[in-house]
Amino acid sequence: MSGLTPENLHKAETIVALYPERRSALIPLCHLAQAQEGYLTEECMEDVALLCGVSAAEVRGTASFYDMLHTEPVGRYVVAVCTNIACMLAGAYSVLTHAEEHLGIRVGQTTHDGLFTLEEAECLAGCDKAVCVQVNHRFFGPVDREGFDRLTGDLASGRLDDEVPHHGVLNRVERTHELEAHRESEGAER
C-alpha cells in the first residue's frame, strides 16, 4: 500500500496553503486521505504528517480521537444506529439487535463482503427522526426493523449511490472559493 496518490498529494498541498500554520490542515488532510482508501493507512498518515510538519504519532492520535476518522479498514458503508434517549424510546435497541441479525455481524464488525460496518452511536442529533440511522454521515429516519432492511437493500443494490458515497467521502463537491479568496488577499498584500 502506498501513501497519497499524486492527485491527492497536489490537493493536500493546496489545502495546506490555505492555512497560516501547516499543522492547522491536519484534519482536512486526514479526511482527504480517508476518502482515498476508505480509512487512514499508515503510509497516508506519514504523508499527512510530513505535509503538516508534525509526527506520524500526532496524526494517529488525532485520527483515533475523532469517530469520523478510521485507522483500520471499514466497510463501504458505515452504518450507525443511534441509541440515545429519543431513539432508545422509539425502539433503537430493537433496530440495533435486528441489524446485527440481518447483517450477521456484531457492533464494531464488518460483513465478510466488506459492504457494511455496524456501529452504535451515542447521539446523531436526529431526535425528530428517531430511530435515526447514519450511513457514511448521511442521515435516515425514522428507521424501524423493516426500514433497516430496505435501507441496507437499497445500499447493496446501488439504488442510493447518488445519495450516499463510499465511506470516507464527506463532500462530493470540491470547494475552490477559499483558495481563490486566499490568492486575492495575497495579491492585495503585495
Domain boundaries defined on the chain: 6-71, 77-157
Specify whether the CB–CB gap between 132 and 126 falls below 8 A: yes
User: And the C-alpha cell for 157?
Assistant: 443494490
Instruction: Give me the pLDDT at residue 178, please.
Output: 53
**Residue 75 burial class via C-beta count within 10 angstroms: exposed 0-12, middle 13-18, buried 19 and up:** buried
- The pTM score is 0.81
Q: How far apart are CA 22 and CA 99, in angstroms?
A: 42
Instruction: Give me the pLDDT at residue 169, please.
Output: 77
Instruction: Give me the pLDDT at residue 181, please.
Output: 46
Instruction: Give me the pLDDT at residue 1, please.
Output: 47
- Write out residues in the chain with pLDDT < 50, as ranges: 1, 173, 177, 181, 190
CATH class for the domain made up of 6-71: mainly alpha
Contacts of 81 by beta carbon, 8 Å cutoff, 6+ apart:
87, 92, 95, 96, 99, 118, 119, 120, 121, 131, 133, 143
Q: How far apart are CA 43 and CA 135, in angstroms?
A: 26
Architecture of domain 77-157: 3-Layer(aba) Sandwich (3.40)
Strands 133-135 and 77-82: antiparallel
* SS3 sequence of 49-62: HHHHCCCHHHHHHH
Q: What is the pLDDT of residues 28-44, one digit of tens each?
A: 999 999 999 889 999 99
14 HSE (CA, 13 A, CB side) = 15
